[in-house]
Amino acid sequence: MSSKEKIDIAKLPQHIAIIMDGNGRWAKQKGKVRVFGHQNGVKAVKETIEAAAELGINFVTLYAFSTENWSRPKYEVDALMQLLVKTINSETKTLNKNNIRLLAIGDLESLPKNCKKELMEAINSTSQNTRTTLVLALSYSSKWEIIDAVKQISLKVKNNEISIDDIDQNLFSSFLNTSSIPDPELLIRTSGEYRISNFLLWQIAYSELYFTEKLWPDFRKEDLYEAIVDFQSRERRFGKTS
Ligand code: IPE
Ligand code: IPE
Ligand code: MG
């Protein structure tokens, strides 16, 4: 029996966030260069989005490139940016065909010009789609996002546009890149690493965490189903008693 049949459609998470990790190790296991792993990660991305859309998941956020990833060797960073441009270019049609909207979070100004241009074009072209929203975290880190929100709020306080007493969780959330996106109920990380790596720290306050040994290029629909089944077996208490 596929895990898909065990999923309770009435209790789907609205938003799944994924730390796609293990591309480099996947390539190394095959005696190839790291970039080969990134290239093969695209198939896993497509499968994941397709599976999520078919199930009726409203939001999928994929951690594609962190602020810290800029410190990797230049050839790897360049290859990742090129792959991003190429993939957005070739997949926008499919996103539109499948009624999937694209969004991006992160310091998009720091992306290479052509990369930002492709991304913005795809975001505009898919903006009216309603089935599922795919959020790409690019040049993203949670601490960057939080500091950015603090700066924006501080400026508003300084200009007397808001008072300090107005600052609460809702107001703070509204200054994050994710203001239009509900918090993820489920966070998945592949490759057997048990850490968050600066991803959505504020937003995952009460998310269920799911770790799998699978390396990202091997991640398939069935793996997403398994994560959802596991999620549905948990009791989310939010600090209360059962
Ligand atoms: C994840 O795979 C992709 C990005 C971080 C861009 P890695 O490149 O981190 O692969 P490993 O973790 O070194 O195997
Ligand atoms: C996290 O993976 C970032 C992305 C998946 C884009 P990393 O491979 O960069 O994280 P660390 O260095 O293992 O924590
Ligand atoms: Mg990694």
* Ligand that lies nearest to the alpha carbon of residue 42, given by its number in the listed order: 1
pLDDT given for residue 1 in this prediction: 83
* Ligand that lies nearest to the alpha carbon of residue 23, given by its number in the listed order: 1
Q: How far is the CA of 197 from the centre of ligand 2 (A)?
A: 6
Q: Which atom of ligand 1 is nearest to the CA of 34?
A: 8
Token pair of 47 as six digits: 């499968």
Nearest CA to ligand 2 atom 2: 21
Q: Which contacts (CB < 8 Å, 24+ apart) does range 229-238 have? A: 229/3, 229/6, 229/7, 231/13, 231/185, 231/186, 232/7, 232/8, 232/11, 234/208, 236/185, 236/206, 236/208, 238/206
Q: Determine the Cα–Cα distance for residues 103 and 119; give it in Å rounded to an integer.
A: 9
Q: Which CATH number fits domain 3-140+183-232: 3.40.120.10, 3.40.1180.10, 1.10.10.10, 3.40.50.2300?
A: 3.40.1180.10
CB atoms within 10 A of CB 101: 20
Q: Is residue 23 in contact with ligand 1, taking CB distance under 6 Å?
A: yes
pTM over 0.95: yes
Q: What is the full per-residue pLDDT of the chain (242 aa) written as tens digits?
A: 899 999 999 999 999 999 999 999 999 999 999 999 999 999 999 999 999 999 999 999 999 999 999 999 999 999 999 999 999 999 999 999 999 999 999 999 999 999 999 999 999 999 999 999 999 999 999 999 999 999 999 999 999 999 999 999 999 999 999 999 999 999 999 999 999 999 999 999 999 999 999 999 999 999 999 999 999 999 999 999 99
Which SS3 state, helix, strand or coil, does residue 192 take?
Answer: coil
Q: Is residue 106 in contact with ligand 1, taking CB distance under 6 Å?
A: no
Q: Is residue 63 in contact with ligand 1, taking CB distance under 6 Å?
A: no
Q: Which atom of ligand 2 is nearest to the CA of 19?
A: 5
Q: Is residue 67 in contact with ligand 2, taking CB distance under 6 Å?
A: no
pLDDT given for residue 53 in this prediction: 98
Of the residues 8, 23, 58, 69, only one is catalytic, namely 69
Is 21 an active-site residue? yes
Ligand 2 pocket test target in 68, 77, 142, 195 with most atoms within 8 Å of CB: 68
Is 168 an active-site residue? no
Could you identify the residue written with the tokens 């808001």?
Answer: 162
- Single out the residue of 12, 2, 3, 5 nearest to residue 232, CA to CA: 12
Q: Determine the Cα–Cα distance for residues 178 and 155; give it in Å rounded to an integer.
A: 20
Give residue limits of the domains in the chain.
3-140+183-232
